[in-house]
Structure 1
Amino acid sequence: MLVETPDNTTQKLVLIDTIQRLGVAYHFKNEIKTSIQNIFDESKQSKNEDDDDLYVVALRFRLVRQQRHYMSSDVFKKFTNHDEKFKENLIKDVHGLLSLYEATHLRIHEEEIFEEALIFTITHLESMVPKLSNLLKAQVSEALSQPIHTNLPRLLARKYICIYENIESHSDLLLRFAKLDFNILQKLHQGELCELTRCDDISAINLVSPNLRPVYRTLLDRYDEIEEELTKESKLECLYYAKQEMKKVARAYLKEALWLNDVYIPKCEEYMKIAIVSTTVMMAATTFLCVMEENITKETFEWVINEPLILRASSVIGRLKDDINTNDFEQQRSHVASFIECYMKEHGVSKQEAYVEAQKKLANAETR
């Protein structure tokens, strides 16, 4: 399919873009590299028939720059007036505006035309959203929330698969391949995370996939340093507790990653059970006790790892303050649901009512 489609045609550009958005481009790395090189070379030698099509020009520009070739932003000057403002007749071209918007995120220093383009596209795309079809509305809303260039490939793939299957002209073969690939990789990544949380020492590093080994090695190095110091002070037994708390945090991060992948919004109780661990208050308290000069008794460590009220309250305060203060920002990108979203879904209330409940729980934790 990719090889058979002629280079520098609109069909080839769209196909490459689709393959990349669906998250399967790594299977065709060499073919895509060759095609874009040919597209880039041809664009420098001759005028393209569709140079007056904003959608195609912007798409070609983005794909070429993504491949680290320099294409001048002058290709967009034909779409501006003498005052360097974009032509008003473009505001009805939704696909063209969306393509230009995505291209602006590959701008480099002193490309002023893109500063104007970004304002122009955002202004008009936002005003269009209420009038668009559901499919196009989803595409525009997602792009405004998280442009392709700054998105995470796997999260982009998950969302675009849902969009692509509703496009009438989609390829059934490509769609099935993308779904299968996504599910296989998801299982692989989940398994890798489980391996990481299950492993204890360097002897288990071969059980960890190669791409996670540097992370695992660094983590072990930090604990080796702590172990060396504790051995000198005859306090090695307390390291066991620090490692146990670290494992709890890793498992909590895994759970949150699974929620994000599955687009799952838990109930508040389930959310807070994981959240008070992922704040790392318990892990930090245990680690600090390990490195203190005083000798800490086993009973004290047992008290800490059983989540005493003071540490649970500290964890709740940290989590709720973060959710209250950063919720709007965090939800503009791909991010696990916060207490706000969990409460809204569980109780069927507005965001404002969820904020009020979060403030109540925060105040309650602060008075404990």
Structure 2
Amino acid sequence: MATSVATAMPAPVFHPTVWGEYFINFTPEPLQISDEKMAERINQLKGDVSGMFQATKNVVETMNLVDVVQRLGIGHHFEEQIATALASIHSAEFNSSSLHEVALRFRLLRQQGFWVSPDEFDKFKNEDGSFVSGIANDPKGLLSLYNAAHLLTHDEGTLEDAILFSRRHLESIQSSLKPPLADQVGRALEIPLPRTIKREEAISFIPEYSSIQDQTYSPEILELAKLDFNLLQHLHQKELKAFTQWWKDLSGEIGLDYVRDRIVECYFWSYTVHYEQANARARMILAKLFVLTSLLDDTYDVHATLEEARELNKAIERWDYGDVSFLPEYLKKFFVKVVSNFSEFEDELEPHEKYRNVYNRKGFQTLSKYYLQEAEWFHQGFTPSFKEQVSVSVITAGAQVLSIGLLVGMGDAATKEAFEWVIGNTDAIWACGEISRFMDDMSAFKNGRNKLDVASTVECYIKEHNVSSDVALAKIGSFVEDAWKTINQAPFKYPALLQVVQRVASLAKSMTLLFLDKRDAYTYSKDFKKTLESHFVKHILI
């Protein structure tokens, strides 16, 4: 984030939206079954699958059931059954010589906040600590080990070795594998399963699941996954229609023609955190907050003079739209709309929840303050130290304000303790911000940043340490990995906040997808359209 020079500058040209009013006018392709019939059938199938949890005969069957239910995207229907099953697995005796089974148990339990020691993998290692060569001939086991090891926390050398070992062997055998294992390996080598957003995995895994012809396959589970995806997609399409109309009205009133028009992308970002029907309120509040923070970013970044930036920050600090005479006309309209939308967020809340919006506003005010700091640096021609840059730009990456925002519309898990945890920028929140900031900056370095931007973390590191860009990028990449270790540690460190930690982790996962291979699929969203179509336009054939 940066801002323009003190005299008016032409705004950089962001490419226009690839969506326009598509979802306002969108009519879904008719399905063979109505929404009402789908909902009725889903309820029947949920009963069938619940029975399967009770009918599993051993730990391995239970693990396989939990795994497919989660990967097919229907785990939200069976949260209690999954929690009970994994608690039972955690306490049960388990002695398996199968690398796949040991790794699967490790991953499922750690994801749910149950601690499992990496010593579980010692049986697959030689006396010198290296992995036995025989497991290199077990592609399914290697893939499970690779995915499980990505739940490592700090100072877990065994799991770091496991990642290197399994990745090297998976890359060497990938071309000889057959679908669906070949496809699963390809996806994991891009984004490991524990860092993959749930709906993205479901879209890939649903068509693969039908080819699994062993004891884990159930036609009822597959039917439920397909129907549930399509029914939820219809809800998301209706929300996108309303959301696009909201944006059309908002942008028409304030006329910010210099900003990134990325309304569908903002909705997607929110949906990666909250896709379930029960979280519709949380999803819409967060999606609107994404838009408002993006507008604030672009206003500071590419349009406002330094004096305008200072005055806008003052207005946001005061939060009084009755006293905005000192702002230029375009910022008056923008500021009034920000305040009115925050009032609408509060109107969505029950009386005992309204305190949440105070935290929401504080997060937005903090974001504005740090955007202004970057603007001040730019105008002074000041290149901060790497540490100074990180202390500001991790906040401007937005993880804190968005982690507050994802809580605002949630249910009972959004406690005052949770809000204090987030606004205090505790380690996991900061780590989410680091992932966002460092991946964004590596993308900007690769693609060329705006000439008005303040020096990025990559550039600050190069200058301060007098190293090549390759060395700096490798170092920044290692900081991303360290941040993931901190997020992986959070379920064990904050067990009472597990649901909140998991949502914050989902926010971090969205960054992994949007900035994959150092792209920026938000700013340069044309190449991301097919991904969005798979989520919001194309239904799954039943």
Q: State the TM-score bracket (shorter-chain normalisation).
A: 0.5 to 0.7
| Preserved CA contact (<8 Å) 1:90 1:97 | yes
* In structure 2, distance between residues paired with 1:147 and 1:53: 21
Aligned to 2:67: 17
SS in 2 for 1:95: helix
Aligned to 2:227: 180
Mapping 1:156-167, distance limit 5 Å? 156-167=201-212
SS in 2 for 1:119: helix
Counterpart amino acid of 1:119?
Answer: L
* In structure 1, distance between residues paired with 2:330 and 2:79: 50
* In structure 2, distance between residues paired with 1:234 and 1:53: 67
* In structure 2, distance between residues paired with 1:64 and 1:227: 48
Aligned to 1:68: 113
| Preserved CA contact (<8 Å) 1:7 1:39 | no
* In structure 1, distance between residues paired with 2:103 and 2:81: 21
Aligned to 2:281: 210
Alpha-carbon offset, residue 8 of structure 1: 4.5
Alpha-carbon offset, residue 117 of structure 1: 0.6
Aligned to 2:56: 6
* In structure 2, distance between residues paired with 1:79 and 1:163: 29
RMSD: 3.9
Counterpart amino acid of 1:131?
Answer: S
Q: Deviations over 1:36-77 (max 9, x none)?
A: 00010113xxx43xx211110110111111110111111110
Aligned to 2:245: 198
| Preserved CA contact (<8 Å) 2:53 2:62 | no
Could you tell me which of 24, 33, 42 is aligned with 2:83?
Answer: 33
| Preserved CA contact (<8 Å) 2:446 2:518 | no
Aligned to 2:178: 133
* In structure 2, distance between residues paired with 1:229 and 1:341: 43
Q: Deviations over 1:73-102 (max 9, x none)?
A: 111101000010000011111111111111
* In structure 2, distance between residues paired with 1:134 and 1:333: 27
1:95 aligns with 2:140: yes
| Preserved CA contact (<8 Å) 1:102 1:147 | yes
* In structure 2, distance between residues paired with 1:335 and 1:153: 20
Q: Which has the larger radius of gyration?
A: 1
| Preserved CA contact (<8 Å) 2:90 2:114 | yes
Q: 1:232 to 1:73 in 2, by over 3 A?
A: same
TM score, norm. by length of structure 1: 0.59
| Preserved CA contact (<8 Å) 1:8 1:39 | no
Mapping 1:1-368, distance limit 5 Å? 1=49, 2-6=52-56, 8-43=58-93, 47-48=94-95, 51-169=96-214, 170-199=217-246, 209-211=280-282, 212-213=284-285, 216=288, 219=292, 225=316, 228=321, 231-233=324-326, 324=447, 330-332=515-517
Query: How many residues are paired up?
Result: 257
Alpha-carbon offset, residue 329 of structure 1: 9.2
SS in 1 for 2:321: helix
Aligned to 1:256: none
SS in 2 for 1:23: coil
Counterpart amino acid of 1:133?
Answer: K
Alpha-carbon offset, residue 11 of structure 1: 1.6
Where relative contact order (Cα < 8 A, 6+ residues apart) is larger, the structure is: 2
* In structure 2, distance between residues paired with 1:42 and 1:334: 44
- Structure 1: which 5+ runs fail to align? 202-207, 245-319, 343-368
SS in 2 for 1:134: coil
Q: 1:71 to 1:333 in 2, by over 3 A?
A: farther
| Preserved CA contact (<8 Å) 2:60 2:101 | yes
| Preserved CA contact (<8 Å) 1:227 1:239 | no
Aligned to 1:277: none
* In structure 2, distance between residues paired with 1:128 and 1:121: 11
TM score, norm. by length of structure 2: 0.42
* In structure 1, distance between residues paired with 2:330 and 2:166: 61
Counterpart amino acid of 1:213?
Answer: I
Counterpart amino acid of 2:197?
Answer: L
Counterpart amino acid of 1:105?
Answer: H
Looking at secondary structure, tell me which structure has more helix per residue. Answer: 1
Alpha-carbon offset, residue 4 of structure 1: 2.9
Q: 1:110 to 1:339 in 2, by over 3 A?
A: closer
